[in-house]
Homo-oligomer: A and B are copies of this chain.
Amino acid sequence: MKRIGKESVIYTFSPKHKPVEKVVPGEYVLFETEDAFGGQVKGEETPPDKLDWSRVDGATGPVYIEGAEPGDTLVVDVLDIRLQERGAIAAIPGYGGLSHLSFSPKAKVVRVDHSFVYFNDLKIAVRPMIGTIGVAPEGDEIPTGYPGRHGGNMDVSELGIGTRLYLPVFVKGALLALGDLHAVQADGELCVSAVESPGEVLVRFDLMRGRRASWPILETEESFQVIAAGRSLEEAMREAAEEAVRALMRARKTTFEEAYMLGSLLVDLRINQVVDPLLGARAVVPKGIVCIEDFLTGH
């Protein structure tokens, strides 16, 4: 098993980054990650509007996956997520889904154990998830705080233990990095942060050669989910929904019009987050009527 230490941190996804490790498909890889604040939020006394933003949203990596070529799909099995026993949350004026309202900066550190996040007198069930996971894009670097076709800061609440992520590969070796673990986050990530915890993620990679999707695809026990981003929720929704409809056309060997109708009946459009520089939505297609191949196209 290879271990990627949290000192190997990047703040952009870029084809120019030198990989910190080379791994082969099938081997176990453990990523150690700092929290999304770069460990800067120590408690209520931290002013969250005065963070050093150059140390925020780091991702551990990048890792070079042997054999990954542009046009392939990188398959990432999320086998485990282990969190440290603390998490930080911040409300920062000018940020979040209610950034139009006036409020004060506020930081909070909460205890996290295997079952719960302890928020004042509330016990909230822990649902560990990966906020940021992505590969290098083809061209210009992309800050790790952004979501996109390369993955990145997708903040999908369902991207947890036991799920599988399909990422399009744009450069030789894929150059995967991940970080921004959340102990719990609702759809939307309303206040701009979730319970941000340092921790470790165990993954295993696989490759599908010569075909890929236009956006990351998440596979859960019950669904395939197209994860898209855009300048508005409508734009993100349109991107995700079109990919889902195209997959339904391939799966059912049917017309656009019939697949569009099926989308109305079967495909849940969901909000990922409303707080990052690009907003995120996903199209959730139930398993049983599609398979992963329906989302992929070859060159």
Contacts and interface: CB of A to CB of B under 8 A. Distances in A.
Interface string A82-93: 000000011100
Interface residues of A, number: 60
Please give the count of copies of this chain that the complex contains: 2
Nearest to A265: B184
A260 B119 contact: no
B241 A237 contact: no
Given A91-B261, A233-B232, A242-B101, A188 B267 contact: yes
Contacts of A161: none
B189 A264 contact: yes
Interface stretch (A56-64, A165-173, A192-200): A192-200
Interface string A122-160: 101000000000000000000000000000000001000
B117 A186 contact: no
A271 B271 contact: yes
Interface stretch (A11-19, A28-36, A102-110): A102-110
A214 to B, nearest CB: 15
Contacts of A51: none
A185 B264 contact: yes
B187 A91 contact: no
A238 B98 contact: yes
A3 to B, nearest CB: 30
A120 interface: yes
Given A103-B256, A260-B190, A270-B271, A265 B117 contact: yes
Given A120-B254, A122-B262, 5 more contacts: A89-B261, A96-B264, A103-B260, A122-B252, A233-B233
20 contacts: A91-B257, A97-B241, A97-B269, A101-B256, A106-B261, A108-B258, A120-B252, A124-B265, A184-B265, A186-B264, A186-B268, A187-B269, A188-B269, A190-B263, A191-B261, A192-B264, A194-B265, A233-B237, A234-B279, A270-B271
